[in-house]
């Protein structure tokens, strides 16, 4: 792979002004990003550590990170909280995210994961909305399902994706994927996905299970 291709595959970046500008560059590892509001970067209740990931189905770096984040969640038996962040300059990313939400809500979360995995695997052959529609129709057929004539007739799934996007804007995202390892007390952005396992090890070491149980008991106490 030549130098230009390496840079293009490294990161998807959105500079959100009046209209987002698309650029791709190779960021130095684990420099982090100055975020705006990180109050929502917490693990689900009862979890010592979790991965939070914002991804774009048209982003090559997200395709690279997808199996790594899923593998880490399975290896450590920790939650992975997924959010869609389709960059506005990408042609078909939003449509793909809406279809994934349809599968998640109408079929199963695993069906949505499988579809996302397939989209990432076929990214290079999807160059337009028409390509995505043809790919999705074939995907439904080969999995024994009939693709609905209109995937999102009420706009429900678009609203779900938009809610994720608004959450990302509230945090202050500038790129995809944006990956966090979170504990009840702090978060760490993982800008080099190859350091994800090491970051989780550190977070687990810093967050004993007894601390989580104590926090849960405190939260469950009735307020006087």
Phi-psi region of 170 (alpha: psi -120 to 50; beta: other; left: phi over 0): alpha
Q: Please tell me the predicted confidence (pLDDT) of residue 209.
A: 77
Bridge partners (DSSP) of residue 51 are 80, 181
Q: Output the pLDDT for position 60.
A: 96
Q: What is the pLDDT of residues 90-121, one digit of tens each?
A: 999 999 999 999 999 999 999 999 999 999 99
Predicted local distance difference test score (pLDDT) of residue 178? 96
Domain housing 8: 3-220
Question: Could you tell me if 69 and 196 are in contact, meaning their C-beta atoms sit under 8 angstroms apart?
Answer: yes
Regions of the chain where pLDDT drops below 50: 1-9, 15-31, 218-220, 223-224
Could you count the other beta carbons within 10 Å of the beta carbon of residue 102? 21
Q: Burial of 111 by CB count in 10 Å (0-12 exposed, 13-18 middle, 19+ buried)?
A: middle
pLDDT score of 205 = 95
User: Tokens 């760490």 identify what position?
Assistant: 188
Strands (E), the chain: 12-15, 21-23, 50-55, 80-84, 175-176, 178-182, 187-189
Residue spans of beta strands (DSSP E) within 76-144: 80-84
Strand partners, 188: 181
State the pTM of this model: 0.81
Determine the pLDDT at residue 215. 52
b/e burial code for range 53-85 (CB count within 10 A of at least 16 → b): bbbbbbbbbbbebbebbbebbeebebbbbbbbb
Work out the widest C-alpha separation in the chain, in whole angstroms. 65
Tokens of 57: 């189905």
CATH code: domain of residue 143: 3.40.30.10
3-state secondary structure of 160: helix
Count of domains forming the chain: 1
């Amino acid at each position: 792979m030549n130098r230009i291709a390496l840079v293009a595959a490294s990161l998807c970046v959105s500079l959100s002004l009046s209209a987002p500008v698309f650029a791709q560059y190779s960021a130095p590892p684990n420099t982090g990003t100055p975020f705006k509001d990180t109050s929502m970067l917490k693990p689900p209740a009862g979890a010592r550590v979790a991965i939070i990931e914002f991804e774009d189905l048209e982003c090559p770096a997200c395709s690279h990170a997808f199996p790594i984040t899923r593998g880490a969640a399975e290896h450590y038996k920790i939650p992975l909280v997924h959010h869609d962040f389709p960059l506005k300059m990408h042609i078909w990313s939003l449509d793909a995210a809406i279809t994934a939400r349809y599968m998640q809500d109408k079929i199963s979360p695993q069906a949505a994961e499988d579809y996302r995995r397939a989209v990432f695997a076929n990214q290079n052959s999807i160059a337009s909305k028409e390509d995505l529609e043809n790919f999705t129709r074939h995907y439904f057929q080969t999995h024994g399902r009939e693709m609905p004539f209109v995937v999102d007739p009420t706009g429900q799934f678009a609203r779900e994706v938009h809610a994720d996007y608004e959450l990302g804007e509230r945090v202050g995202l500038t790129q995809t994927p944006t990956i966090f390892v979170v504990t009840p007390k702090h978060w760490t952005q993982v800008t080099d996905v190859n350091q994800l396992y090491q970051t989780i090890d550190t977070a687990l070491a810093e967050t004993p299970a007894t601390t989580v149980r104590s926090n849960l008991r405190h939260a469950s106490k009735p307020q006087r």
